Amino acid sequence: MSSPSEPSPPDQPIIAIRDLGRRFGRSWALAHVDLEVARGELVLLAGANGSGKTTLLRTIAGLIHRTRGELRVFGRDPNRARAHCRSRLCLVTHHGYLYENLTALEMLELWNRLSPAPRPRSELMPLLERMGLAERARNEVRGFSAGMRKRLTLLRAELERPELLLLDEPFSALDPDGQRFLEQWIRASRAEGRTFVIASHALMRATNLGGSSVLLERGQIAWRGPSSQLLARFSGTAS
């Protein structure tokens, strides 16, 4: 058996899903989902509200147990090998879970203490600089705009250096400058070899990132193809 820190074979999919289903009561939030995500790939999840995007992200992250089917993340079941998977992925939601009375630096220091591999304190300010928050490092989060909050939330991903990033509605509540910054950050992270699965309603912005797209309808994959074709497909099939 491989150890949690042992790298996956380079040709092994980061995510491998077969006939995945998740039921809440009598309703299936996900049904018969088949999906593979290769190392370094970017996959955009699109679909109307309630189509299953967030449920799929949370299932991949190991936060929700599937009702049926097979799921492997880095070659392992994320519900049975949580340490193996959790140390190598990061789920970033639109909630942020920030403490209003902490400063940006204190928030980063807290995350660093909770990290399985804490960084030296000397590396924290450069991270804030990379995200354009150095000048607000000692300001409390309560005074931050939506864009600054988003950048601070993304710092957790920078801190943990995950191989796989799961982003749930990352462009929400951002002004155009914030959206451009986020797009640049995703491109730079992909250039470093990271893999992305992104759920987003901001299709015009998200499809600029390239990669492939998955269109979900009522918990099932209705279409998968190049992101350049998503807008036409979505407008033709979404209700």
| DSSP symbols for 190-203 | HHTT-EEEEE-S-H
Q: What is the CATH number of the domain that holds 218?
A: 3.40.50.300
Host H or E run for residue 51: none
Give 10-residue mean pLDDT values along the chain (239 residues): 52 95 96 97 96 97 96 96 90 85 96 88 93 94 91 88 94 88 93 96 93 96 95 66
Q: What is the pLDDT of residue 74?
A: 97
Q: Is 192 among the domain residues?
A: yes
For residue 157, the model assigns a pLDDT of 84
Q: Do 107 and 218 reside in the same domain of the chain?
A: no
Does 154 share its domain with 173? no
Domain shared by 239 and 146, yes or no: no
Taking the alpha carbons of 36, 58, 210, 6 in that order, is the dihedral positive or negative?
negative
Residue 160 tokens, joined? 């943990």
Query: What whole-number distance in Å separates Cα of residue 56 and Cα of residue 45?
Result: 9
**Residue at which a domain ends, from 145, 160, 175:** 160
Ordered DSSP codes for 97-110? ---TTSBHHHHHHH
> Could you tell me if 166 and 156 lie in one domain?
no
Residue 194 half-sphere exposure, CB side, CA atoms within 13 Å?
23
Answer whether residue 108 is part of any domain.
yes
Tell me the C-alpha distance between 235 and 239, whole Å.
8
Q: Which residues contact 138 (CB under 8 A, 6 or more apart)?
A: 103, 104, 105
E-assigned strand segments in 47-204? 68-73, 89-92, 164-168, 195-199
Question: In this structure, is the dihedral angle defined by the CA atoms of residues 167, 173, 179 and 185, taken in order, positive or negative?
Answer: negative
Domain end marker among 114, 130, 160 = 160
166 and 234 within one domain: yes
Would residue 2 count as lying in a domain? Answer: no
190 and 228: one domain?
Answer: yes
Query: Residue 161 has which token pair?
Result: 């250096």
Q: Which of 129, 160, 191 finishes a domain? A: 160
Domain count, the chain: 2
Q: Quick one: angle between helices 146-160 and 176-191, nearest 10?
A: 10
Question: Per this entry, what is the length of the chain?
Answer: 239
Q: Establish if 64 belongs to a structural domain.
A: yes
Range of the domain at 80: 12-88+162-239
Q: Could you say which DSSP state residue 5 is in?
A: T
Residues 203 and 113 in one domain: no
Distance CA 111, CA 167 (A): 18
What's residue 232's pLDDT? 87
* 24 and 121 part of one domain: no
Residue 26 in any domain: the answer is: yes
User: CB count, 10 Å around CB of 42?
Assistant: 22
Predicted TM-score (pTM) of the model is 0.90
User: What's the pLDDT score for residue 236?
Assistant: 58
User: What residues are paired with 71 via a beta bridge?
Assistant: 17
User: What are the CA-CA distances from residue 20 to residues 25, 28, 39 (Å)?
Assistant: 16, 11, 20
The tokens describing 101, both together, are 């009375």
Q: Is 27 exposed, middle or buried (0-12, 13-18, 19+ CB in 10 A)?
A: exposed
